[in-house]
Structure 1
């Protein structure tokens, strides 16, 4: 048998094996869907965004690429609504099970065994009650709230729920009690698992938690710990009013995010895409000339914050070839280049305490143009937006009151940090 025949035979076997595996997977899927429906539950092949829109804690609320997939919805034996859903994002992929709570509550994290902390979670470590014992971790942003939730009765239910599982990753997200990696392949096991989870939820409902009831979340995709951020997606009209690269062709936007942090300035952030086309000519060894057209794709992150008043142009960046305006701090002059047409305005804004703040904050590059502050974040990401937002609030809060008043405002629009009293 020739080598080519052997290769062909191997390929045929591999293709046949793939087909068999595909058929097996399809049969298993159909059996699962059938068993779901026999229980009176509903299977949704392509759920909409509304299936997870109210959820904002990891694995939800993180990243720009989020995709809900297969979904099972129904009620537990005790009549508590549930959903089990496949979810994919930039940082996590898997199945999530959840049952409904009676109230919308702040975030709470409870893990045991081999379960690891979810990507992106930011919370305080809370002491673990003695009833849970070793191997458990609790996290929340409000310790008193967490301690009120995790009563002895809840601890008993959690211990029973975790029995037989290598680890549990449980969280409270709005009015949902969520656990990662439910036993979805066996519907009978899944039903028992959901009933146990419903028992945990019932004990949480019995705790005195009314003082921590949260407002109804907006009906839109939001971001973890940034309730006033929201997803837009595409907004090509921004290309007419933002400082994007004007060269090339085929301009478009993607991953458009709008919002603000607290009383800070509102922002818009997105990725700008465009193309450039060039003609390349080459000559081969026989003198024949050929020409081809080459199209290249480009992208850049855009991040801008809108100010409440127009300000003179000011640019702050890392020290480059330009010297910029000279300040009294040599250490600052060595690290930063500040450029402005109105030198007095630059000196008023970049005062000694502001210089200390800029040096401590790191290498942020930004420019003020009219009533916008534009950053050069290097990437379009949730952490980059959050860091720039926090930095800018600190910068604006250190601008003296008399500067804002000279610009026409009655007072400083942003609170001065305690370490930098308003002037």
Structure 2
């Protein structure tokens, strides 16, 4: 057999092996789904986003690309609802199991054994001597964290961890959530869910009513940003001033609206468009060929709506130009400020404002009419959060007389504590 024949045979073997593996995988999947249904559970191949839309703590509540996949839903032997679901995001991918609690409660984090805290979690460590070494507990409200850890809850947590390499558990609203459930083995998943339900029962029995949280609207949420919400697509935003006008097939994606506390409301999204050009080339025989080349482009748009129309002002990192000169050389070396009115710039960028800018350097931004437009370069949750916190502090440092000159009775942004923007 010549070399070409050997290669052909090898390809045939590979194709046959691939087909065989695919058939085996399909048979196994069907058997697995049947075993779930035999227990009275429901298997959903492509669940709607509602399955996880109200969950807001990591791995949920982070990023813009959130994808629920295979889902198992049902009730434990005592009637407590549960779901086990595959979930993918920019920061994490895996399986999550959860049972329903009787109340919506603040976030709580418990890790034990060979586990690490989840990506993106912001919490304070709560002493948990009753759990013993190797356990960590975190909460935003330490009093709540301590109150949850009753003797009964501690006992059930140890039972849940028995025989497993670790436990990564959290409270997310009215759900008790655990990463990496034993979902592959149905004979193990059932007893594990029953154990998780006993932890939920112990938490339900604890005196926690004073921490009950209000019901939230059924929409995609963002961790520690309760007033942000997902829009998805809104092509009416293409009329906003900073959007690139050239090209064709303009569209928006990952549109987010919201605000942080009493800060200005924002809109953030990705803008996509195409450009087309014609290229002409000549080959070695003098024949001319023409082809059309289409390029895809995108940009991040982030704008905050201001409470009054303001004159144009731009603040950026110093490049080749110095901009307006201020009394602080350290500031002049770091920033370039341009404005349509120099006096306006001096009124807004006063010494205390300069200190704030140098301590919390933002991405370049400009104020124009009723908007503050940032140039983030990327469209992501941390950039929006940082810019939102920065701008709230920047606006709070604009003097009252400036706001009054703009037609307002007083500053719409009371001073806040001088803490760094993270």
Counterparts in 2 of 1:392 and 1:363: CA distance versus 1, 3 Å: closer
Post-superposition offset of 1:363: 4.3
Deviations 1:367-415 (A, max 9, x none): 0010100001110001110111111111111111111111111111112
> Structure 1: how far apart are the matches of 2:264 and 2:55?
25
> Structure 2: how far apart are the matches of 1:39 and 1:242?
57
1:100 and 2:110 are equivalent in the alignment: no
1:340 and 2:339 are equivalent in the alignment: yes
1:231 aligned residue:
230
1:64 and 2:64 are equivalent in the alignment: yes
Map 1:17-416 → 2, pairs under 5 A: 17-129=17-129, 131-416=130-415
Deviations 1:307-354 (A, max 9, x none): 111111110001122221111101111111111112211111101000
Post-superposition offset of 1:205: 0.8
> Could you say what secondary structure the match of 1:244 adopts?
coil
> Could you say what secondary structure the match of 2:200 adopts?
helix
Q: CA RMSD in A?
A: 1.2
Q: Which moved more, 1:367-376 or 1:81-90?
A: 81-90
Q: Which moved more, 1:114-123 or 1:376-385?
A: 114-123
1:15 and 2:26 are equivalent in the alignment: no
> Could you say what secondary structure the match of 1:23 adopts?
helix
Counterparts in 2 of 1:419 and 1:228: CA distance versus 1, 3 Å: closer
Question: With structure 2 as the length reference, what TM-score do the two structures score?
Answer: 0.97
Q: Which moved more, 1:16-25 or 1:268-277?
A: 16-25
How many residues are paired up? 419
> Structure 2: how far apart are the matches of 1:80 and 1:343?
66
Question: Does the CA contact (< 8 Å) of 1:313 and 1:367 recur in 2?
Answer: yes
> Structure 2: how far apart are the matches of 1:63 and 1:5?
51
Deviations 1:90-129 (A, max 9, x none): 1111111100001101111111112222111111122222
> Could you say what secondary structure the match of 2:178 adopts?
strand
Deviations 1:227-285 (A, max 9, x none): 11111111111001241111111111111111111111110001111111111111222
> Structure 1: how far apart are the matches of 2:167 and 2:6?
49
Question: Does the CA contact (< 8 Å) of 2:233 and 2:252 recur in 1?
Answer: yes
> Structure 1: how far apart are the matches of 2:353 and 2:392?
12
Question: With structure 1 as the length reference, what TM-score do the two structures score?
Answer: 0.97
Post-superposition offset of 1:419: 4.2
Question: Does the CA contact (< 8 Å) of 1:398 and 1:417 recur in 2?
Answer: no
Question: Does the CA contact (< 8 Å) of 2:316 and 2:337 recur in 1?
Answer: yes
> Structure 2: how far apart are the matches of 1:293 and 1:46?
39
Q: Which moved more, 1:284-293 or 1:189-198?
A: 284-293
> Structure 1: how far apart are the matches of 2:383 and 2:138?
24
> Structure 2: how far apart are the matches of 1:419 and 1:300?
32
> Structure 1: how far apart are the matches of 2:64 and 2:45?
22
1:417 and 2:416 are equivalent in the alignment: yes
> Structure 1: how far apart are the matches of 2:380 and 2:363?
15
Q: Which moved more, 1:318-327 or 1:161-170?
A: 318-327
Q: Which moved more, 1:2-11 or 1:215-224?
A: 2-11
Q: Which moved more, 1:170-179 or 1:18-27?
A: 18-27
> Structure 1: how far apart are the matches of 2:241 and 2:266?
12
Question: Does the CA contact (< 8 Å) of 2:75 and 2:82 recur in 1?
Answer: yes
Post-superposition offset of 1:298: 0.7
Question: Does the CA contact (< 8 Å) of 2:362 and 2:387 recur in 1?
Answer: no
Structure 1: 4+ residue segments shifted above 3 A: none
Question: Does the CA contact (< 8 Å) of 1:366 and 1:375 recur in 2?
Answer: yes
> Structure 2: how far apart are the matches of 1:88 and 1:76?
26
Question: Does the CA contact (< 8 Å) of 1:115 and 1:168 recur in 2?
Answer: yes
> Could you say what secondary structure the match of 1:345 adopts?
helix
Post-superposition offset of 1:416: 0.9
